[in-house]
Structure formats: C-alpha cells, structure tokens
Amino acid sequence: MKYKSTRNAQVITSFENAICSGYAPDGGLFVPQTLPSLSSFQIKEWSLLSFPELSYEVLRLFIATEEITNADLRVIVNKAFGEGSFVDGVVNVRRVSSSNDNDNEKKKEKANRNENVFVSELFGGPTFCFKDIGMRLVVNILSHFSSSTPTTLLVATTGDTGPAAVRAVSDAQNPNLSILVHYPKGQISDFQRKQLTTVCSDSVEVVTFEGGGDDMDLPIKNILASSSSSSFEVVESKKKTTSRRRRLCGVNSYNIGRPLAQMIHFIWTYLRVVEQIGVEPSNPDITIDIVIPTGAMGNIAGGYMAKQMGLPINYLCAGVNVNDITHRVLETGKFYRSNEMIKTMSDAINVQMPYNFERLLFYLTGQNHGLVNGWMKTVDSTNKLDLDKTWHEKLRQEFRSARITDEEMCNAMKRARDELSFFADPH
C-alpha cells in the first residue's frame, strides 16, 4: 500500500514516509493510494475478533508486510493495548435505556425513544480520552520506525491529544523517540494541564504559547516542511562530538496514522451495535448514524473512510461547541475561520480551522485532486472557502451537525443522569 497527497496524485510515498512526515510535501494530507473494499464475509469474520485482533486486521490492510512484518505489527498492537493499558477492555458499547422514572407510561415512552440509541465509551485508556486508542497505535508504529532514525514528535493540543501522546511516548520507553507538546495558556482543562506537566520522562518536553488552540498549527507545519533535509541533533560523548539525523514528525490528526487508527473503533462500534440488536453484520438494509464530538475532524475522517470502504454507516453527525466552523460549513457551505477562539467547557474541541476537512472533501469529490488542491489553496491564502450549491448538497447527504452551548451540554448531561442513569462524558 502506497500513500498519496490529497492535492496531487503524483506525490506518492511509502507508509513509513507518510506516517513519519505528517503533512505531504505539497502541503496536502496523505491518504491511501486506494481504499480497500470490505466484503460482507470480511465484516462477519471481524465480528468474532477482540479489539486488538480487529486492530491488527484493519491496519494490515494499509501497511505492506515489506514495511512492517506480521510479527512486528502484532507486537505493536499488543504494546498499544497490552494488559493494564485500558480499563474494562478497550471500547465498551452499550445501549442507553431509561430506568429512573416512576411513571410507567413515561418510562415506556423514554425506553421506546432510546431503544436503538447506543453509546460507544472510548475513555477507558490511561488518560481517560478517546485519543488513547489511536495515539497508542500511532506512537508504537513511530517507535518501530525510529529504531534507526531518532524521532521527535511535534504536537499542538487543546486537551486530549497532548496527554495521550505524552503517555504513549513515555510508555514506549524508546530512547530514540521524544516529544515536544505545545498548548495554549489558560485554554485547556486544569486536569489535562496536570496530565501534561507532571510527567517524569526525559523524552517529554511541554511548553505553553499565547493564543488560540489553532495558532501553533501553521508554525508546526512550516517547521515540518523546512526540516525534511536539515534536521540534526548534536550528540556529545567524552571522546567526541558528532551529529546525526533527527526526524521531526507531527502527530496531530493531519497525520494519516490517526484516522487509520481511529477507523478501527468505528468498525468495532458498528459490530457491537448490530450484535446487540440481533442483526447479521454487513446487512445493507441496516445502517447506523454515528454522533461524534468534533474538533479537527480527525475522528469523523476515520469514520468517513470506513464508510467509503463499505461499512454500513448512514449519517456521520458532528457535535461541536460554539467554536462552530464545522457546523457552519455543513449548514451553509461556508468554511470560514472565525476571528477568535471562544473559551468553553469542552476545551478539547475548541478548533477554528479543522485540517481534516480536506480529507472529507477529497473523498466527497471522488478523490478529485485538482478540485481539492484549488479549494485548499483558497483556504490557505484566505482562511475561507465557499462551497457551491451542488457540493454543499453532496456534503449534506453524508453529514449532519449540531452546535451545542455549555449550558445545553450541562442540561443534556443532567437529563441523561436523571432519566437514563447515564453519566455522560462531555469531552
């Protein structure tokens, strides 16, 4: 499996180069040269697997054995999801049901309304956020590739990505792998700030910056673009001082490893839902809608790629806070960066310019590199894009969205607790 840029079909590289680069050299995002199709038989077979086993099978579709052998890939997966890494398994999918209403009629009405509503709980990892699932796979893959080339990971975070990446790097215990994390001062939760700043590891550096959560994206992109041929570290010893190449790699969700790894929990969630409703996996008449807290769109991109491969998904629904560019583009076709980042209770999805919108457009257009290239050049130069009516309607055929204020979020959490005995993670 080779990888290409969303902006130019002629920019082709290996999986190692794609995942160890972050961005494509033309400024686009890497995608698989072809998306494999999932057969009904394959989906049925996968329904019998554990989460680590499913992870191996999905990743095997995207990584050539010449780059990572079967044995090494199993080691990578086992390290990511090894004993003690996750509480109660990796992903628990459970049906939401009413249980706290003494009025039988009301209880029956609520139960009917929620009969086919399920929650995929992705917070069982060591930092209690869904990023643990994908990040531990990505970091262990990068650790595998850094055995010969020392690698430093660059991360900008508004909450989830940084702690998950730091913990994964610390757990990898690879002296050739280090990480530099940037977070906006005063704009991540106190809990996640402590997760970042209390790690005792020589492989981890954490710094703050003034500004919004997206403000480090362009500097990191420029660093990665300029470092491909000039990044070295100085190594000192008693006998001599030498220099050796050090690779810089971005691991926010523009990195292709992230949506590939996050695709797995969409497949797992689908399989567990159809299992619970008693339907045979891959039945084309039964599709599911999936609602996703959405920031940079890396998670929803993984879900859309799975849908493109044949997973029976209907709508992918983005839930956003008042930093609502994703909701605005889905409602109006206008992809406009807002002038400021608004502080919210859901810091981790405070995003003004979600880079994975480029991947969504790429697959929405049937992999039209020229059209995506033109659109993204407009975004890069103006921070704006107007989709015409045709493309906006096509976008609406695949996606839905909702804009949720802090007050609405808290009220929904209270209703879930009171009516369903369900304690929701506000992300």
Residue 91 contacts residue 120 (beta carbons within 8 Å): yes
**pLDDT computed for residue 112 by the predictor:** 53
In the predicted structure, residue 186 carries a pLDDT above the cut 80:
yes
- CA dist., res. 282 & res. 210, Å (int): 48
- CA dist., res. 331 & res. 398, Å (int): 12
Q: Please report, to the nearest 10 degrees, the dihedral formed by the alpha carbons of residues 350, 352, 356, 359 taken in order.
A: 150
pLDDT by residue (tens digit) across 134-161?
A: 999 999 999 999 988 899 999 999 889 9
* Six token digits for residue 182: 């940037």
Q: Indicate the range of 85-89, 166-170, 341-345, 365-369 predicted with least confidence.
A: 85-89
**pLDDT computed for residue 344 by the predictor:** 92
**pLDDT computed for residue 299 by the predictor:** 96
- CA dist., res. 167 & res. 198, Å (int): 11
Residue 208 contacts residue 183 (beta carbons within 8 Å): yes
pLDDT by residue (tens digit) across 89-113?
A: 799 999 987 555 555 555 555 545 5
The strand pairing partners of 309, in sequence order, are: none
Vertex 270: Cα angle to 267 and 275 (nearest 5): 125
Strands 399-403 and 118-121 turn out to be unpaired
Q: Please report, to the nearest 10 degrees, the dihedral formed by the alpha carbons of residues 304, 308, 313, 315 taken in order.
A: 50
**pLDDT computed for residue 234 by the predictor:** 42
Most confident of 14-23, 77-86, 228-237: 14-23
- The conformation of residue 348, written as its DSSP 8-state character, comes to G
Percent of the chain with pLDDT over 90: 78
**pLDDT computed for residue 263 by the predictor:** 97
- CA dist., res. 273 & res. 343, Å (int): 35
In the predicted structure, residue 233 carries a pLDDT above the cut 80:
no
Q: What number is the average pLDDT over the span 168-195?
A: 94
**pLDDT computed for residue 46 by the predictor:** 98
Q: Which of 354, 268, 356, 355 is nearest to 313 (CA)?
A: 268
Long-range pairs for 370-379: beta carbons < 8 A, 24 or more residues apart: 372/6, 372/7, 372/28, 373/6, 373/7, 373/8, 373/28, 376/6, 376/7, 376/27, 376/28, 379/335, 379/353
Most confident of 236-240, 392-396, 414-418, 420-424: 392-396
Q: Indicate the range of 211-215, 294-298, 361-365 predicted with least confidence.
A: 211-215
Q: What number is the average pLDDT over the span 165-169?
A: 96
Q: What number is the average pLDDT over the span 278-285?
A: 90
Q: Who's near 7: CB < 8 A, 6+ residues apart?
A: 24, 26, 27, 28, 369, 372, 373, 376
Mean pLDDT score of the chain:
91
**pLDDT computed for residue 148 by the predictor:** 84
Q: What number is the average pLDDT over the span 215-238?
A: 68
In the predicted structure, residue 244 carries a pLDDT above the cut 90:
no
The model's confidence at residue 132, banded by pLDDT at 50, 70 and 90, is very high
The model's confidence at residue 237, banded by pLDDT at 50, 70 and 90, is very low
The model's confidence at residue 284, banded by pLDDT at 50, 70 and 90, is confident
